[in-house]
Structure 1
Amino acid sequence: MEILDVLRNGDHRLTRRMAAWDSAWARQVLPPVEEAVEHTKLWWAAAVIMAAAGGRRGRKAAATGITAVALGELLSNGVAKQLVERRRPPKEWIPHDDVEERPDSSSFPSGHTAAAVAFTAAVALSWPWAGAACAVPTVAVALERVHSGAHYPSDVAAGAVIGLAAAALVRRAPRLLVHRLACP
């Protein structure tokens, strides 16, 4: 049990430190990032731009990105949050006003991070340049989720793992389906 206590204490210390991060950049950038990713608005907008301007490659990247977001949200919000009940970080750890706008659902895992990583990883597999561009807001989402007091860093890490798994499944699913149909 000692190793779990060490991990939990580190998670709590990092949460307090990130939530207390007070910089002009954090105050100006992170709240609009949170608003942009609410209900996956940012990822839908990116997909529309890729599909409209990126030709065949852009349409493929957009389709795989949105499919990965759907799967990432299903795995994180529809499955993992139902299995793991974890309280959000205590309000007294968060020294700014964002703490009042936290969801009531389980803290574990971060669904916003799962969706962001799923989209970015799936897009990167189809169109590396666009994936690299999407990585910037994805990192901002991960930072914002802890800074706002909505999640512990371990929740964000778990969301990232779920997002990567969703992207990999979306990438692999067509081949698995074709193989399954060809070899009954």
Structure 2
Amino acid sequence: MTRWMASWQSNCVRRFLPAVEETAEHTKLWWGAAVALSAAGRRGRRAAIAGLAGMAVAELASSCVLKHVWHRRRPPKEWISHEEVHDRPASSSFPSGHTAAGVGFSAAVASVWPWAGAVCAVPAVLVALERVHTGAHYPSDVAVGAVIGLGAAALVRRAPRLVGRLPR
């Protein structure tokens, strides 16, 4: 599947996915989405806060914990037939932190404002596709990143209830 996705030759894919990757670097895309949501009133601010919390928990779990527990090499460069193969990170391939952050943000936003979460899910899916297309990850890395993001969003959604139950 990695070889097949990396071989996509469409001009649209060649122009569009690198732009998606650039905006997703260092979570810029999700911070920008949070700013846009914040401008939409009280519900937007609540959604932005939930999204940033979901992204932070997902980033913490994927990049700070799991990447150090399981080391996995990136897909072989020979599988990638285009120039993006040289821009891959040196860290562990497992799991995809970009996907975890995008799904964590989108799913947490959806728990507050479903329509906005659906809109945010579109670039999250594109980021996941881009990570495999450029050879940065295997599809299983992206799938696990998505599960981490969903788990982070669920944790963020339950956090107020969990905190309320703690002894004072």
TM-score class, shorter: over 0.9
Q: Distance in 2 between matches of 1:101 and 1:94?
A: 12
Residue 32 of structure 1 deviates from its aligned partner by 0.3
Residue 179 of structure 1 deviates from its aligned partner by 1.6
Q: Distance in 1 between matches of 2:7 and 2:50?
A: 37
Q: Distance in 2 between matches of 1:131 and 1:173?
A: 19
Residue 180 of structure 1 deviates from its aligned partner by 2.0
Q: Distance in 1 between matches of 2:82 and 2:18?
A: 12
Larger Rg: 1
Residue 181 of structure 1 deviates from its aligned partner by 3.3
Question: What code does the residue aligned with 2:48 have?
Answer: A
Residue 25 of structure 1 deviates from its aligned partner by 1.8
Q: Which residue of 2 aligns with 1:171?
A: 157
Q: Does 1:69 align with 2:79?
A: no
Q: Which residue of 1 aligns with 2:70?
A: 84
Alignment of 1:97-116 (within 5 A): 97-116=83-102
Q: Distance in 2 between matches of 1:181 and 1:103?
A: 43
Q: Which residue of 2 aligns with 1:148?
A: 134
Residue 28 of structure 1 deviates from its aligned partner by 1.4
What TM-score comes out, normalization by structure 1 length? 0.90
- Tell me the alpha carbon deviations over residues 129-160 of structure 1, each in whole angstroms, 9 at most, x when there is no partner: 11111111011001000000000000000000
Q: Which residue of 2 aligns with 1:157?
A: 143
Q: Which residue of 2 aligns with 1:44?
A: 31
Residue 126 of structure 1 deviates from its aligned partner by 0.4
Q: Which residue of 2 aligns with 1:17?
A: 4
Gaps of 5+ in 1: 1-13
Q: Distance in 2 between matches of 1:58 and 1:87?
A: 39
Q: Distance in 2 between matches of 1:148 and 1:136?
A: 18
Q: Extract structure 1 runs of 4+ deviating beyond 2 A.
A: none
- Tell me the alpha carbon deviations over residues 38-96 of structure 1, each in whole angstroms, 9 at most, x when there is no partner: 000010001001111x2111000000100111110000000000010100000010000
Question: What code does the residue aligned with 1:63 have?
Answer: I
Alignment RMSD, CA only?
0.8
What TM-score comes out, normalization by structure 2 length? 0.98
